Structure 1
């Protein structure tokens, strides 16, 4: 009887230990329930992290239900609510911070404040955290208001919260927005409007690669903490991008410099104009071969088009998040 009781205690302690280790391995994922959230989560899983150990945060329970059905861990929390953040962080050893605000046309100035509240909640924990942040490349003289906010978040973690191990992944021009309704129909019809000179090299980044590299960094804290890593999977000129579209969709596609669009952007769409100016003038480069050697892979533009099903004309941007 005593032996049986002792065995039962040992089994319970063993199970508790397994659960504790599993809990410690949890990764909080912030800002990945929007349009490109699926690509982020796919990248994290491809890096070797298990869906059940990815704790996706959202204050909208309806968004979490679908993820739970897919096997992902979830937590309902608000970045403005310190108590809910403490609960969300409980048992997590790392965090991928994709965004603290939504992808809106008008700049959401709450990004830095929300990041500060999250960092504050992290700093109150007894166990250390490793944060990987989705930032963006850019010379200080060229970055616009959106990238300035990202720099402010970087500065926040690096200077105000030095106890938090921090890695900044700086993306280049994202491939995924080329799927949006104001770009995709025209491209399928044969016109790729991009307001930079045709021979300008553009560094391209797949959103999924941000998740993939974040996962690799979270599993390799000794070699990736306190680093800034530029992320790109391809470098193509606008003419070469148009050629890649043509090859994938099986119909002609030509680059158009979009002079009228550039004028309209300069007059009425500040954020878009800032990005156009940056792409025209930046001299920042990313060593893609080094990324492949260290992390295993990044996604070329041709691979992105194939993986996302670009040639299927019935598919929309919304399909990428389903």
Structure 2
């Protein structure tokens, strides 16, 4: 029987990229690929991309069990809110009732004994997956390259960050999705695995220098104190409890108190069969595919 795979947050950055990487498998009939859709607009977006949407809303628990019917493997992605805890529980309860076998979970990189909420919540979800008896693959990416690009494309003369001069490690959404796709494609090969995902460690000042070299323009690093992050997140509309936890973790990095903040791992190439994306190639790729849209234009 064909394996059925469900990707939550299928129209988000990581979920969308994972769906695209699995599209060929679905077309070849090696798996049935379902994309979770919270709204009619999301469902239409998935259909236009050639995917099969299923109604799925963490805040409407009655939608979860029908969406998971016959599903073998789930890619569990939650939003940036403290509700990630109850959302994950709802999904896992429904997945258990539906007979789902394997959960691939998108978490965050930190030591197992981390005291910081942003990371600890993800690890609570990991432990719950394990204690409920699912096969599992835990993905633990560190800083997303894409977040830096999102700010740069609107203000291409600067990069703003809150970690000071600390060396931190980075990974692209492309590589995260590629590892996720492999775990969803061949769950038996990746069950019981925890994959830290970070491919290059640089201070943000060196990243700004790379942007300057590649774009042949002056791109400055404008560091801001970690204490400024929480007000910024709240102005952007982030849920306050999660925002406070995230800001606490970034402050610990700025102070040099977060183990693994600059750790690098060489596990992506063996999993996906190609070298990981480093910063220079990431910038070149994005310049070719994601046009700059400076504010005021």
For 2:146 and 2:187, the matched residues in 1 are separated by 28
Number of aligned residues:
278
For 1:267 and 1:315, the matched residues in 2 are separated by 25
Distance 1:80 1:168, change over 3 A: same
Contact in 2 for aligned 1:43/1:210 (Cα 8 Å)? no
Decide which moves more: 169-178 or 286-295: 286-295
Cα-to-partner distance string for 1:121-149 (whole Å, 9 max, x where unaligned): 121234x5211000001135655322222
Contact in 2 for aligned 1:143/1:278 (Cα 8 Å)? no
Identify which of 116, 134, 140 aligns with 1:144.
Answer: 116
Distance 1:112 1:316, change over 3 A: farther
**Does 2:22 correspond to 1:50?**
no
Q: Which residue of the partner structure matches residue 90 of structure 1?
A: 69
| Alpha-carbon offset, residue 311 of structure 1 | 8.7
| Alpha-carbon offset, residue 215 of structure 1 | 1.3
Q: Which residue of the partner structure matches residue 274 of structure 1?
A: 248
**Does 2:187 correspond to 1:221?**
yes
Q: Which residue of the partner structure matches residue 11 of structure 2?
A: 33
For 1:242 and 1:130, the matched residues in 2 are separated by 40
| Alpha-carbon offset, residue 81 of structure 1 | 4.2
**Does 2:270 correspond to 1:293?**
yes
**Does 2:104 correspond to 1:132?**
yes
For 1:91 and 1:201, the matched residues in 2 are separated by 45
**Does 2:281 correspond to 1:303?**
yes
Provide structure 1 residue ranges, at least 5 long, that are not aligned to the other structure: 1-20, 318-322
Cα-to-partner distance string for 1:44-100 (whole Å, 9 max, x where unaligned): 45xx6437832111220111112111111210122344543222112322111122x
Cα-to-partner distance string for 1:283-308 (whole Å, 9 max, x where unaligned): 31655333312332322222222222
Q: Secondary structure at the match of 1:136?
A: coil
**Does 2:82 correspond to 1:109?**
yes
Q: Which residue of the partner structure matches residue 120 of structure 1?
A: 93
RMSD of equivalent CA atoms: 2.9
| Alpha-carbon offset, residue 231 of structure 1 | 0.8
Choose 1 or 2 for highest CA Rg. 1
For 2:102 and 2:294, the matched residues in 1 are separated by 35
Q: Secondary structure at the match of 1:92?
A: coil
Contact in 1 for aligned 2:145/2:170 (Cα 8 Å)? yes
**Does 2:161 correspond to 1:194?**
yes
Distance 1:268 1:221, change over 3 A: closer
**Does 2:130 correspond to 1:166?**
no
For 1:214 and 1:98, the matched residues in 2 are separated by 11
Q: Secondary structure at the match of 1:50?
A: helix
Q: Which residue of the partner structure matches residue 61 of structure 1?
A: 40
Provide structure 2 residue ranges, at least 5 long, that are not aligned to the other structure: 234-243
Distance 1:228 1:264, change over 3 A: same
Q: Give 4+ residue runs of structure 1 displaced > 4 Å after superposition.
A: 80-83, 140-143, 266-269, 310-313
Q: Which residue of the partner structure matches residue 180 of structure 1?
A: 150
TM-score by length of 2: 0.81
